[in-house]
A and B are shown apart, each in its own frame.
Chain A
Amino acid sequence: MDLRRTMLFMPGNNPGMLQNGGVFGADAIILDLEDAVAPQEKDAARLLVAQALQTVDYGDSEKVVRINTLDTFGRQDIKAIVPCRPDALLVPKVESPEDIKEAARLVAAYEQPGQTPVKLIALLETPCGIAEAYRIARADKRVVALAFGAEDYTTSLGAKRTKEGTEIFSARTMVVNSAAAAGVQSIDTPFTDVNDQDGLIADTELAKRLGFKGKLAINPRQIDDIHKVFNPTEQDIVWAERVIKAIRKAEAEGSGVASLDGKMVDAPIVARAERILYLAQLLGLAGGGLL
Protein backbone atom coordinates (compact mmCIF):
# COMPACT_ATOMS: atom_id res chain seq x y z
CA MET A 1 0.00 0.00 0.00
CA ASP A 2 1.40 3.38 -1.01
CA LEU A 3 1.15 6.36 1.29
CA ARG A 4 -0.75 9.23 -0.33
CA ARG A 5 -1.75 11.47 2.58
CA THR A 6 -0.75 14.47 0.49
CA MET A 7 -0.49 14.89 -3.25
CA LEU A 8 0.94 18.33 -3.99
CA PHE A 9 0.32 20.08 -7.30
CA MET A 10 3.32 21.75 -8.99
CA PRO A 11 2.81 23.92 -12.10
CA GLY A 12 4.41 22.04 -14.98
CA ASN A 13 5.88 25.05 -16.72
CA ASN A 14 7.61 26.56 -13.68
CA PRO A 15 11.24 25.37 -13.44
CA GLY A 16 11.75 26.84 -9.97
CA MET A 17 8.83 24.89 -8.52
CA LEU A 18 9.62 21.71 -10.45
CA GLN A 19 13.23 21.55 -9.32
CA ASN A 20 12.29 22.02 -5.66
CA GLY A 21 9.31 19.66 -5.60
CA GLY A 22 11.11 17.05 -3.52
CA VAL A 23 11.89 19.26 -0.55
CA PHE A 24 8.37 19.77 0.77
CA GLY A 25 7.85 16.26 2.13
CA ALA A 26 4.60 15.53 0.29
CA ASP A 27 3.86 11.83 -0.16
CA ALA A 28 3.31 12.53 -3.85
CA ILE A 29 4.02 15.49 -6.07
CA ILE A 30 1.86 16.12 -9.11
CA LEU A 31 3.67 17.79 -12.00
CA ASP A 32 0.73 19.50 -13.63
CA LEU A 33 0.38 19.76 -17.39
CA GLU A 34 -3.33 20.56 -17.31
CA ASP A 35 -4.95 23.52 -15.56
CA ALA A 36 -1.69 25.13 -14.43
CA VAL A 37 -0.41 25.48 -18.01
CA ALA A 38 -1.73 27.88 -20.65
CA PRO A 39 -2.68 26.21 -23.96
CA GLN A 40 0.13 27.94 -25.87
CA GLU A 41 2.69 26.63 -23.35
CA LYS A 42 1.65 22.96 -23.36
CA ASP A 43 4.57 21.96 -25.61
CA ALA A 44 7.16 23.70 -23.43
CA ALA A 45 5.68 22.34 -20.18
CA ARG A 46 5.62 18.80 -21.54
CA LEU A 47 9.33 19.04 -22.42
CA LEU A 48 10.18 20.60 -19.07
CA VAL A 49 8.33 17.93 -17.06
CA ALA A 50 9.92 15.20 -19.20
CA GLN A 51 13.39 16.58 -18.45
CA ALA A 52 12.60 17.09 -14.76
CA LEU A 53 11.42 13.48 -14.38
CA GLN A 54 14.74 12.27 -15.75
CA THR A 55 17.04 14.51 -13.74
CA VAL A 56 15.47 16.00 -10.61
CA ASP A 57 15.65 14.01 -7.36
CA TYR A 58 12.19 13.99 -5.81
CA GLY A 59 13.35 11.99 -2.78
CA ASP A 60 10.68 9.76 -1.32
CA SER A 61 7.82 11.59 -3.03
CA GLU A 62 5.86 9.61 -5.57
CA LYS A 63 6.20 11.22 -9.02
CA VAL A 64 2.80 11.80 -10.55
CA VAL A 65 2.05 13.77 -13.73
CA ARG A 66 -1.38 15.24 -14.34
CA ILE A 67 -1.86 14.92 -18.08
CA ASN A 68 -4.45 16.78 -20.15
CA THR A 69 -7.69 15.12 -21.17
CA LEU A 70 -7.33 12.65 -24.02
CA ASP A 71 -9.44 14.80 -26.32
CA THR A 72 -7.04 17.75 -25.94
CA PHE A 73 -3.30 17.23 -25.35
CA GLY A 74 -3.46 14.04 -23.28
CA ARG A 75 -2.29 11.64 -25.97
CA GLN A 76 0.82 13.72 -26.66
CA ASP A 77 1.42 13.96 -22.91
CA ILE A 78 1.30 10.17 -22.45
CA LYS A 79 3.63 9.60 -25.39
CA ALA A 80 6.18 12.07 -24.06
CA ILE A 81 5.90 11.42 -20.33
CA VAL A 82 5.52 7.65 -19.93
CA PRO A 83 9.05 6.80 -21.20
CA CYS A 84 10.42 9.24 -18.59
CA ARG A 85 9.30 6.83 -15.86
CA PRO A 86 6.77 8.67 -13.73
CA ASP A 87 5.29 6.54 -10.94
CA ALA A 88 1.74 7.44 -11.94
CA LEU A 89 -0.42 9.58 -14.18
CA LEU A 90 -3.34 11.58 -12.84
CA VAL A 91 -6.00 11.44 -15.53
CA PRO A 92 -8.34 14.43 -15.33
CA LYS A 93 -12.10 14.58 -15.91
CA VAL A 94 -12.54 10.82 -16.16
CA GLU A 95 -16.18 10.14 -16.93
CA SER A 96 -16.32 6.49 -17.93
CA PRO A 97 -14.38 3.22 -17.71
CA GLU A 98 -13.55 3.69 -21.40
CA ASP A 99 -11.56 6.84 -20.58
CA ILE A 100 -9.34 4.83 -18.24
CA LYS A 101 -9.09 1.87 -20.62
CA GLU A 102 -7.92 4.17 -23.40
CA ALA A 103 -5.37 5.87 -21.13
CA ALA A 104 -4.12 2.45 -19.99
CA ARG A 105 -3.83 1.27 -23.59
CA LEU A 106 -1.72 4.32 -24.50
CA VAL A 107 0.45 3.95 -21.40
CA ALA A 108 1.15 0.32 -22.26
CA ALA A 109 2.07 1.33 -25.81
CA TYR A 110 4.71 3.81 -24.67
CA GLU A 111 6.22 1.99 -21.69
CA GLN A 112 9.80 0.93 -22.30
CA PRO A 113 11.01 -2.67 -21.87
CA GLY A 114 11.68 -3.37 -18.19
CA GLN A 115 9.95 -0.21 -17.01
CA THR A 116 7.99 -0.37 -13.76
CA PRO A 117 4.33 -0.22 -14.79
CA VAL A 118 2.94 3.32 -14.62
CA LYS A 119 -0.06 3.56 -12.30
CA LEU A 120 -3.20 5.54 -13.01
CA ILE A 121 -5.17 7.77 -10.66
CA ALA A 122 -8.58 8.79 -11.96
CA LEU A 123 -9.59 12.36 -11.16
CA LEU A 124 -13.37 12.50 -10.90
CA GLU A 125 -14.66 16.04 -11.30
CA THR A 126 -17.95 15.77 -13.14
CA PRO A 127 -21.35 14.31 -12.20
CA CYS A 128 -20.81 11.54 -14.80
CA GLY A 129 -17.46 10.67 -13.28
CA ILE A 130 -18.97 10.43 -9.80
CA ALA A 131 -21.87 8.32 -11.07
CA GLU A 132 -19.42 5.91 -12.73
CA ALA A 133 -16.84 5.92 -9.93
CA TYR A 134 -16.91 2.20 -9.12
CA ARG A 135 -16.70 1.07 -12.75
CA ILE A 136 -13.89 3.57 -13.35
CA ALA A 137 -11.96 2.23 -10.36
CA ARG A 138 -12.36 -1.31 -11.75
CA ALA A 139 -11.65 -0.40 -15.37
CA ASP A 140 -7.97 -1.36 -15.37
CA LYS A 141 -5.50 -2.92 -12.95
CA ARG A 142 -3.29 0.16 -13.23
CA VAL A 143 -5.83 2.22 -11.30
CA VAL A 144 -4.61 2.66 -7.72
CA ALA A 145 -6.78 5.54 -6.55
CA LEU A 146 -9.78 7.73 -7.22
CA ALA A 147 -9.28 11.43 -6.60
CA PHE A 148 -12.08 13.93 -6.26
CA GLY A 149 -12.03 17.41 -7.80
CA ALA A 150 -14.81 19.50 -6.32
CA GLU A 151 -14.40 22.79 -8.18
CA ASP A 152 -15.32 21.54 -11.66
CA TYR A 153 -17.89 19.19 -10.10
CA THR A 154 -19.84 21.95 -8.35
CA THR A 155 -19.67 24.08 -11.49
CA SER A 156 -21.28 21.22 -13.42
CA LEU A 157 -23.91 20.83 -10.70
CA GLY A 158 -24.68 24.52 -10.75
CA ALA A 159 -24.12 24.55 -6.99
CA LYS A 160 -22.26 27.14 -4.99
CA ARG A 161 -18.97 25.91 -3.57
CA THR A 162 -18.88 26.49 0.18
CA LYS A 163 -16.29 25.96 2.89
CA GLU A 164 -18.49 23.56 4.85
CA GLY A 165 -18.91 21.47 1.69
CA THR A 166 -22.55 20.44 2.04
CA GLU A 167 -22.87 20.51 -1.75
CA ILE A 168 -20.13 17.89 -2.22
CA PHE A 169 -21.05 15.57 0.64
CA SER A 170 -22.80 12.93 -1.47
CA ALA A 171 -20.06 12.98 -4.12
CA ARG A 172 -17.40 12.53 -1.45
CA THR A 173 -19.15 9.52 0.05
CA MET A 174 -19.65 8.02 -3.41
CA VAL A 175 -15.95 8.38 -4.20
CA VAL A 176 -14.91 6.83 -0.88
CA ASN A 177 -17.39 3.97 -1.18
CA SER A 178 -16.55 3.23 -4.81
CA ALA A 179 -12.82 3.26 -4.12
CA ALA A 180 -13.19 0.98 -1.10
CA ALA A 181 -15.43 -1.41 -3.05
CA ALA A 182 -12.84 -1.58 -5.83
CA GLY A 183 -9.93 -1.95 -3.41
CA VAL A 184 -8.20 1.30 -4.36
CA GLN A 185 -7.43 4.49 -2.42
CA SER A 186 -9.61 7.60 -2.27
CA ILE A 187 -8.03 11.06 -2.34
CA ASP A 188 -10.07 14.12 -1.37
CA THR A 189 -10.45 17.42 -3.22
CA PRO A 190 -8.01 20.23 -2.35
CA PHE A 191 -8.89 22.94 0.16
CA THR A 192 -8.47 26.04 -1.94
CA ASP A 193 -8.11 28.81 0.68
CA VAL A 194 -4.41 28.55 1.44
CA ASN A 195 -4.64 31.22 4.13
CA ASP A 196 -7.29 29.42 6.21
CA GLN A 197 -5.37 26.89 8.29
CA ASP A 198 -8.27 26.10 10.63
CA GLY A 199 -10.55 25.55 7.63
CA LEU A 200 -8.00 23.20 6.08
CA ILE A 201 -7.70 21.14 9.26
CA ALA A 202 -11.49 20.91 9.70
CA ASP A 203 -11.96 19.93 6.04
CA THR A 204 -9.20 17.29 6.27
CA GLU A 205 -10.66 15.88 9.49
CA LEU A 206 -14.02 15.53 7.75
CA ALA A 207 -12.35 13.78 4.80
CA LYS A 208 -10.62 11.36 7.16
CA ARG A 209 -13.86 10.64 9.01
CA LEU A 210 -15.55 9.88 5.69
CA GLY A 211 -12.82 7.38 4.83
CA PHE A 212 -10.51 9.24 2.47
CA LYS A 213 -6.88 8.11 2.60
CA GLY A 214 -5.37 11.43 1.53
CA LYS A 215 -5.98 14.89 0.16
CA LEU A 216 -4.84 16.86 -2.84
CA ALA A 217 -2.81 19.95 -1.89
CA ILE A 218 -2.25 23.15 -3.83
CA ASN A 219 0.34 24.79 -1.59
CA PRO A 220 3.35 23.36 0.30
CA ARG A 221 2.10 25.13 3.44
CA GLN A 222 -0.84 22.69 3.55
CA ILE A 223 1.28 19.55 3.81
CA ASP A 224 2.09 19.46 7.52
CA ASP A 225 -1.50 20.10 8.59
CA ILE A 226 -2.87 17.39 6.30
CA HIS A 227 -0.24 14.91 7.49
CA LYS A 228 -1.05 15.61 11.13
CA VAL A 229 -4.71 14.80 10.51
CA PHE A 230 -4.04 11.58 8.59
CA ASN A 231 -1.26 10.34 10.88
CA PRO A 232 -2.40 7.90 13.56
CA THR A 233 -2.46 9.51 17.00
CA GLU A 234 -0.72 8.02 20.01
CA GLN A 235 -4.18 7.03 21.29
CA ASP A 236 -4.92 5.27 17.95
CA ILE A 237 -1.66 3.35 18.15
CA VAL A 238 -2.18 2.26 21.76
CA TRP A 239 -5.72 1.07 20.90
CA ALA A 240 -4.47 -0.79 17.81
CA GLU A 241 -1.75 -2.53 19.80
CA ARG A 242 -4.25 -3.66 22.40
CA VAL A 243 -6.57 -4.98 19.65
CA ILE A 244 -3.80 -7.02 18.06
CA LYS A 245 -2.68 -8.41 21.41
CA ALA A 246 -6.27 -9.34 22.31
CA ILE A 247 -6.93 -11.14 19.01
CA ARG A 248 -3.61 -13.00 19.18
CA LYS A 249 -4.43 -14.16 22.68
CA ALA A 250 -7.87 -15.31 21.54
CA GLU A 251 -6.38 -17.12 18.53
CA ALA A 252 -3.89 -18.89 20.80
CA GLU A 253 -6.87 -20.06 22.81
CA GLY A 254 -8.58 -21.35 19.68
CA SER A 255 -11.04 -18.51 19.09
CA GLY A 256 -11.33 -16.11 16.14
CA VAL A 257 -13.11 -13.45 18.16
CA ALA A 258 -11.82 -11.53 21.15
CA SER A 259 -13.18 -9.00 23.57
CA LEU A 260 -11.59 -5.68 24.51
CA ASP A 261 -13.07 -3.28 27.08
CA GLY A 262 -16.36 -5.13 26.79
CA LYS A 263 -16.53 -4.78 23.00
CA MET A 264 -16.22 -7.55 20.44
CA VAL A 265 -13.02 -7.58 18.38
CA ASP A 266 -13.61 -9.25 15.04
CA ALA A 267 -12.04 -9.18 11.59
CA PRO A 268 -12.99 -5.58 10.55
CA ILE A 269 -11.72 -4.21 13.87
CA VAL A 270 -8.50 -6.14 13.47
CA ALA A 271 -8.12 -4.85 9.90
CA ARG A 272 -8.55 -1.27 11.12
CA ALA A 273 -5.98 -1.83 13.87
CA GLU A 274 -3.54 -3.38 11.42
CA ARG A 275 -3.88 -0.40 9.10
CA ILE A 276 -3.12 1.99 11.97
CA LEU A 277 -0.04 0.00 12.96
CA TYR A 278 1.06 -0.29 9.34
CA LEU A 279 0.83 3.49 8.96
CA ALA A 280 2.63 3.99 12.26
CA GLN A 281 5.41 1.72 11.12
CA LEU A 282 5.64 3.41 7.73
CA LEU A 283 5.86 6.82 9.38
CA GLY A 284 8.43 5.76 11.94
CA LEU A 285 6.01 6.20 14.83
CA ALA A 286 5.81 3.70 17.67
CA GLY A 287 3.64 0.63 17.37
CA GLY A 288 4.90 -1.10 14.25
CA GLY A 289 6.50 -3.96 16.14
CA LEU A 290 3.35 -6.04 16.39
CA LEU A 291 2.90 -6.45 12.64
Chain B
Amino acid sequence: MYELKPAQAGTLESNDIMITVAPGPIGSGVVIELESIVLAQYGQAIKKTIAGVIGEHNITDIYVKAVDRGALDCTIKARTLAALGRAGVIASKELI
Protein backbone atom coordinates (compact mmCIF):
# COMPACT_ATOMS: atom_id res chain seq x y z
CA MET B 1 0.00 0.00 0.00
CA TYR B 2 1.27 3.46 -0.93
CA GLU B 3 0.82 6.71 0.90
CA LEU B 4 -1.75 8.90 -0.84
CA LYS B 5 -0.64 12.46 -1.60
CA PRO B 6 -3.08 15.17 -2.70
CA ALA B 7 -3.08 15.35 -6.50
CA GLN B 8 -5.07 16.60 -9.45
CA ALA B 9 -5.62 15.76 -13.12
CA GLY B 10 -7.83 17.05 -15.92
CA THR B 11 -9.08 20.51 -16.80
CA LEU B 12 -12.25 22.58 -16.63
CA GLU B 13 -12.57 22.67 -20.41
CA SER B 14 -15.63 21.35 -22.18
CA ASN B 15 -15.75 17.53 -22.43
CA ASP B 16 -13.18 17.18 -19.63
CA ILE B 17 -13.35 16.49 -15.90
CA MET B 18 -11.02 17.73 -13.17
CA ILE B 19 -10.32 15.13 -10.54
CA THR B 20 -8.71 16.07 -7.24
CA VAL B 21 -7.82 13.36 -4.75
CA ALA B 22 -6.72 13.61 -1.12
CA PRO B 23 -6.32 11.16 1.76
CA GLY B 24 -9.48 10.63 3.80
CA PRO B 25 -9.68 10.00 7.54
CA ILE B 26 -9.10 6.37 8.51
CA GLY B 27 -12.29 4.43 8.09
CA SER B 28 -13.98 7.10 5.95
CA GLY B 29 -13.98 4.93 2.84
CA VAL B 30 -14.32 6.37 -0.67
CA VAL B 31 -15.99 9.78 -0.58
CA ILE B 32 -16.77 11.38 -3.94
CA GLU B 33 -18.03 14.94 -4.22
CA LEU B 34 -19.25 15.70 -7.72
CA GLU B 35 -20.10 18.92 -9.50
CA SER B 36 -21.41 18.40 -13.00
CA ILE B 37 -23.39 20.14 -15.71
CA VAL B 38 -25.26 16.84 -16.11
CA LEU B 39 -25.51 15.96 -12.43
CA ALA B 40 -29.21 15.10 -12.53
CA GLN B 41 -28.89 12.84 -15.56
CA TYR B 42 -25.50 11.21 -15.13
CA GLY B 43 -24.29 12.03 -11.60
CA GLN B 44 -24.63 8.46 -10.31
CA ALA B 45 -22.96 6.99 -13.42
CA ILE B 46 -20.00 9.36 -13.14
CA LYS B 47 -19.52 8.53 -9.44
CA LYS B 48 -19.76 4.83 -10.26
CA THR B 49 -17.04 5.13 -12.89
CA ILE B 50 -14.71 6.99 -10.53
CA ALA B 51 -15.42 4.53 -7.69
CA GLY B 52 -14.82 1.64 -10.09
CA VAL B 53 -11.33 2.84 -10.98
CA ILE B 54 -10.50 3.41 -7.30
CA GLY B 55 -11.89 -0.02 -6.39
CA GLU B 56 -9.75 -1.76 -9.01
CA HIS B 57 -6.68 -0.52 -7.18
CA ASN B 58 -7.81 -1.45 -3.66
CA ILE B 59 -7.62 2.12 -2.41
CA THR B 60 -9.52 2.93 0.77
CA ASP B 61 -10.08 6.15 2.69
CA ILE B 62 -9.88 8.63 -0.15
CA TYR B 63 -11.63 11.92 -0.76
CA VAL B 64 -12.35 12.78 -4.41
CA LYS B 65 -13.57 16.10 -5.72
CA ALA B 66 -14.71 15.88 -9.33
CA VAL B 67 -15.73 18.86 -11.45
CA ASP B 68 -17.27 17.56 -14.65
CA ARG B 69 -17.72 19.48 -17.90
CA GLY B 70 -19.46 16.75 -19.85
CA ALA B 71 -16.70 14.14 -19.97
CA LEU B 72 -17.24 10.75 -21.58
CA ASP B 73 -16.67 7.59 -19.55
CA CYS B 74 -13.23 7.04 -21.11
CA THR B 75 -12.15 10.55 -20.10
CA ILE B 76 -13.42 10.07 -16.54
CA LYS B 77 -11.43 6.84 -16.25
CA ALA B 78 -8.28 8.40 -17.74
CA ARG B 79 -8.40 11.46 -15.47
CA THR B 80 -9.08 9.36 -12.37
CA LEU B 81 -6.14 7.11 -13.22
CA ALA B 82 -3.92 10.14 -13.84
CA ALA B 83 -4.87 11.69 -10.50
CA LEU B 84 -4.24 8.41 -8.66
CA GLY B 85 -0.93 7.99 -10.45
CA ARG B 86 0.12 11.49 -9.43
CA ALA B 87 -1.10 10.80 -5.89
CA GLY B 88 1.40 7.96 -5.75
CA VAL B 89 -1.13 5.20 -5.10
CA ILE B 90 -0.74 3.45 -8.46
CA ALA B 91 2.67 2.35 -9.60
CA SER B 92 3.42 3.58 -13.10
CA LYS B 93 3.64 0.01 -14.39
CA GLU B 94 0.02 -0.56 -13.38
CA LEU B 95 -1.34 2.59 -14.95
CA ILE B 96 -2.35 0.92 -18.19
Q: Distance in Å from the Cβ of B28 to the closest Cβ of chain A? A: 26
Q: Are A50 and B78 CB-contacts (below 8 A) given A19-B72, A80-B96?
A: yes
Does chain A have a CB within 8 A of B33?
Answer: no
B-contacting residues, A52-74, CB 8 Å: 52, 54-56
Does chain B have a CB within 8 A of A250?
Answer: no
Q: Distance in Å from the Cβ of A17 to the closest Cβ of chain B? A: 8
Q: Distance in Å from the Cβ of A47 to the closest Cβ of chain B? A: 4
- Which residue of chain A lies nearest to B13 when distances are taken between CB atoms in the complex? A16
**A interface majority secondary structure:** helix
Does chain A have a CB within 8 A of B81?
Answer: yes
Number of A-B contacts (CB under 8 A): 58
B-contacting residues, A126-183, CB 8 Å: none
A44–B83 alpha-carbon span in the complex (Å): 8
Is there an interface contact between A43 and B82, defined as CB atoms closer than 8 Å? yes
| Chain A residues within 8 Å of B95, by CB | 43, 47, 80
| Chain A residues within 8 Å of B72, by CB | 15, 19, 55-56
A79–B75 alpha-carbon span in the complex (Å): 20
Is there an interface contact between B78 and A48, defined as CB atoms closer than 8 Å? yes
Is there an interface contact between A55 and B16, defined as CB atoms closer than 8 Å? no
Interface residues of B (CB under 8 A from A): 9-10, 13-16, 71-75, 77-79, 81-82, 85-86, 92, 95-96
